[in-house]
Amino acid sequence: MRLFAPRYADGQVIEIDGMAVRLRVSARARRISLRVDRLRREAVAVAPSRRHLADAAAFAVSRRDWLSERLEALEAAPAAALPGDVVSVFGRPWRLQPDGRRPRLSLAEGDGPRVLSGCGAGAVDPQLVARMVRREAQAVFETWARTHCAALGAPPPPILLTDTRTRWGSCAPARRDRPATIRLSWRLALAPPEVADYVVAHECAHLREANHGPRFWAVVDSLVDDVRGARIWLRNHGASLHAILPKLVG
């Protein structure tokens, strides 16, 4: 009997090793179960009654490896982009203009969109768009990381880009046999800039605090303004970033 079990609510989203899991009560369920909702692109732990939600949460924790594999294998099916469509990159619009030439990105005029030319010949090539977004992400992330590391008095580590579905970022602190490195999902470039910057700051903070204790969160709070808002956005909308552009090939 669990005397001090946490209280959970139907529809609540919990985080397990960086993965979002939604808790659900179903009167038709006869036992605890865990599944991946392919339409909503989220994990769901189901309990037969509200008083069993804590058991559903515990079951999801015990199946974290299975869950990670299923979420990693879940492939998005991005909608086909058309000439003239707009993609938001770090909060600024990019208008897609395939012309059969080498990909190039114009400078924006005021608040107007930047134009990504050469992203295909006649039709938009989503792989070319993804590569250009990735290139932009590398430059912006490195700039933000330098700023945050300067505030922390730490040397900026190399930034490596990833495209995993279960982690937006990770930090490997320096050791005797290797320097520190930070890995970030390039898809964060498709999120609001304050959300992407939060993840960069989060990983930079691990250079000082390799944990998620109170001192770590104090460091993150010193680097960005709305930590809670960024975390909520990622929990509610992060999965949608995988449906905007395909995984890079080659």
Amino acid at 194: E
% of residues, the chain, pLDDT over 90: 63
pTM, entire model:
0.70
Contacting residues for 177 by C-beta, under 8 A, at least 6 apart: none
Decide if 192 contacts 91 (C-beta within 8 A): yes
Q: What is the pLDDT of residue 61?
A: 93
CATH number corresponding to 86-243: 3.30.2010.10
Write the pLDDT tens digit of every residue in 87-123.
999 999 999 999 999 999 998 777 789 999 999 988 9
Token match 């924790």: residue?
Answer: 61
H/E/C letters for each residue in the chain? CCCCCCCCCCCCEEEECCEEEEEEECCCCCCCEEEEECCCCEEEEEECCHHHHHHHHHHHHHCHHHHHHHHHHCCCCCCCCCCCCEEEECCEEEEEECCCCCCEECCCCCCCCEEEECCCCCCCCHHHHHHHHHHHHHHHHHHHHHHHHHHHCCCCCCEEEECCCCCCEEEECCECCECCEEEEEHHHHHCCHHHHHHHHHHHHHCCCCCCCCHHHHHHHHHHCCCHHHHHHHHHHHHHHHHHCCCCCCC
The CA distance from 210 to 20, in Å, is 21
Per-residue confidence band for 1, with pLDDT thresholds at 50, 70 and 90? very low
Per-residue confidence band for 200, with pLDDT thresholds at 50, 70 and 90? very high
| Statement: residue 48 has pLDDT above 90 | yes
CA atoms within 13 A on the CB side of 225: 2
Q: What is the pLDDT of residue 36?
A: 83
The CA distance from 53 to 51, in Å, is 6
Write the pLDDT tens digit of every residue in 124-151.
999 999 999 999 999 999 999 999 999 9
| Statement: residue 185 has pLDDT above 70 | yes
| Statement: residue 4 has pLDDT above 70 | no
Q: What is the pLDDT of residue 37?
A: 76
Decide if 132 contacts 119 (C-beta within 8 A): yes
Domain boundaries, the chain: 13-73, 86-243
